[in-house]
A = this chain, B = another copy of it.
């Protein structure tokens, strides 16, 4: 359902919708046992839930497409990820929960290493420590340019976010990252006439940064063994996307309960209020419980299924699934009218990266039809009544079961 139709059909209600996202949920069979992570895990609560739910798989973007975290979540929030496409710089800013303003332009930065001729020898500066990254960002924050405010925020290892705040800025600026080594960083160029002033500002920042990073006194601040990180590269200049909010479109009061900043940042882009949450499921559930009355839509994010998958650690992913399973009764005790349990994408431990495979999904709600799915895993879910359906339709479906969508046409 596109947002115009959603806006037209959505109505308010007292019902509450809870979306539990196990990041990277979907898996693939272990080569020795032939069973996926979910098939291997003991998940009596999720299995019981599956028996009384409508079950299937979500397709986050399209068949064969491996979603990043941004598209995977936006789809679950009801926003077509092919249409609501977030620029790299803005996503990085969201990823550190940086409060990007409408007039800001953000870029993803890498500290890199250049040789005496200025040619890039390492695009990631030997993956310097996050601590060193923080020190270098602090140095660069000393740069002043007239008429604008600058932000240089460390992310992790060699990565940082660069933000220019001022009037009449534009994101029509090309990457300075040449995407390969052995060449010079590119000069900041406008990609359209309206980007020229911003490109000139960026060029001045880069020149100042080059001078500071090349200064031996700055370089000696790090460990003697660290690679120099004597230059930087910028890419993905982008503004904060100006999207309709979930409250305007879906008439929901939405809250995000996520420990990791990236997911809070994404949720805020669609107008959710980001509530503080500790790292464990119990912390998230406590946060939901405390805020139960204030909101009618809760997005609860659980990260560790994905990190275990990305580490290729099948057993740890199994253990994390069992941890979530143990928390299901206390989620149910909150009494959501509609409960969805799914992931933003698959991260099979055997692949150790995000994958394109459809994502396990269940929805416990009033008025679901009977369904022969009897467990929450990739094989049993094949028997679900929902089949494989676009993730962007999960919220409208939940809204219908929550009595929050009116009839289309007379």
* Best-buried of A36, A85, A370, A393 by chain B (most CB within 10 Å): A370
Q: Which residue of B lies closest to A91 (CB)?
A: B410
Q: Are A1 and B68 in contact (CB under 8 A)?
A: no
Chain A stretch 21-47: residues in CB contact (< 8 A) with chain B: 28-29, 34, 36
Is A405 within 8 A of B65, CB to CB?
yes
- DSSP class of A's interface residues: helix, strand, loop or mixed? loop
When each residue 331-374 of chain A gets 1 if its CB lies under 8 Å from chain B and 0 otherwise, what string results? 00000000000000000101100111100000000010111100
Among A5, A65, A66, find the residue whose CB has the most chain B CB atoms closer than 10 A: A65
- The 0/1 profile, CB within 8 Å of B marked 1, for residues 305-342 of chain A is 00000000000000000000000000000000000000
Tell whether, in the assembled complex, residue A405 and residue B66 are in contact, meaning their CB atoms are under 8 Å apart: yes
Q: Quick check: A63 and B393 within 8 Å, CB to CB?
A: yes
Of the listed residues A61, A67, A82, A409, the one surrounded by the most CB atoms of chain B closer than 10 A to its CB is: A409
Q: How far is the CA of A350 from the CA of B29 in the complex (A)?
A: 41
**CB-defined contacts of A196 to chain B, threshold 8 Å:** none
A37 to chain B, nearest CB (A): 12
Choose the segment among A120-128, A202-210, A220-228, A384-392 that binds chain B (4+ C-beta atoms closer than 8 Å): A384-392
- How many copies make up the complex? 2
Assess whether A378 is interfacial by the CB under 8 Å rule.
yes
CA distance A86 to B5 in the complex (A): 15
Is B369 a contact partner of A28 (Cβ separation < 8 A)?
A: yes
Whether A408 contacts B66 in the complex (CB less than 8 A), given A28-B367, A29-B369, A370-B29, comes out as yes
Residue of B nearest to A353 (CB): B407
CB-based nearest B residue for A346:
B369
The reply to whether B387 and A378 contact each other, CB–CB distance below 8 Å, is: no
- Residues of chain B within 8 A of A109, CB atoms compared: none
Pairwise interchain contact A62-B396, C-beta atoms closer than 8 A:
yes
Contact partner, A64, options B82, B91, B405, Cβ 8 Å: B405
B388 touches A378 (CB 8 A): no
A150 sits at the interface (CB 8 A): no
Q: Which of B62, B88, B351 is close to A410, meaning CB atoms less than 8 Å apart?
A: B88
Q: A63-B1, A357-B369 are in contact. Are A408 and B9 (CB under 8 A)?
A: no
Report how far A398 CA is from B370 CA in the complex, Å: 28
**A351, B369: Cα distance in complex, Å:** 13
Q: Which of B354, B378, B398, B407 contacts A67 (CB 8 A)?
A: B407
Known contacts A29-B370, A369-B357, A387-B388; is-contact A68 B410 (Cβ 8 Å): yes
A188: Cβ under 8 A from any B Cβ:
no
| Interface hits, A287-301 → B, CB 8 Å | none
Q: Cβ of B399 and Cβ of A64 under 8 Å apart?
A: yes
Residue A81 lies at the interface, judged by CB distance under 8 Å to chain B: yes
Contact of A409 among B64, B70, B348, B350 (CB under 8 A): B70
Q: Does A184 contact B (CB under 8 A)?
A: no
Which of A64, A372, A378, A388 is most buried by chain B, counting CB atoms within 10 A of its CB?
A: A64
Task: Write out the residue numbers on chain B whose beta carbons fall within 8 Å of the beta carbon of A405.
Answer: 64-66, 356
Which of B66, B379, B393 is close to A62, meaning CB atoms less than 8 Å apart?
B393
| Beyond A29-B369, A354-B407, 14 additional pairs, beta carbon < 8 A | A1-B65, A5-B65, A64-B396, A64-B398, A64-B399, A64-B400, A67-B407, A69-B410, A86-B409, A348-B367, A355-B367, A356-B405, A386-B388, A387-B388
10 contacts between A and B (CB under 8 A): A1-B63, A5-B62, A5-B65, A29-B369, A29-B370, A64-B397, A64-B401, A68-B409, A68-B410, A382-B383
